Structure 1
């Protein structure tokens, strides 16, 4: 399975004022001081509060098998999926990889209108120069 990035984050804010059932969360990495996350989450499916700790992973595929499809598909019987280990999964497109000052980069991903911005050191985020990724979260 192709995990490109995985880290634990502590939620620093949850803004649910803009949309029904969707909150924009901000979070700080517990393992790397320089990694920050801003993410739109369907909080009806995955409720979140300030102070929650979540594991966030980004992967290029969910199974060991190489696939020729684009997007989500049900795993075959007996096939292990990376999604089995997480509570919340989205599929999206990296639409911007922005290099900032020094070693800082920002990765922007759209999950059908729900957005992710992951900011941090190039060393930790350089593997996210992908076209399509899965976002996986668990509490």
Structure 2
């Protein structure tokens, strides 16, 4: 079972790191434009900060280091992003509403999964073991 936990941790960590790269390197301009369209104040700064939160979460989950900080970073990312960027209830176009609803639900599920990580006291194959609860 420990190897399955490691495989899952790698998959989740890489997911967060890929999205961090989108925020910080590959898609900064497009995400900044979308954040501005959604009415986010200081959209470029918001994209960069959200990318840093994703980077922290991704590294934490991938390496198994300070998982509590990884969870906190994920929650700090998901709370504002989910409700501001994917507010499907305010979207008039039916197709766009469905897209936003899917993204809203995905983010809520990812946030819930991140919160469940807090229950795991020992992360097998961690880079630096026994640093819980941080």
Asked if these proteins are the same fold (TM beyond 0.5), I'd say no
With normalisation by structure 1, the TM-score equals 0.29
What TM-score, normalized to structure 2?
0.29
Comparing both structures, which one devotes a greater share of its residues to strand? Answer: 1
Q: Which of the two has greater helix per residue?
A: 2
Task: Please identify the structure whose Cα radius of gyration is greater.
Answer: 2
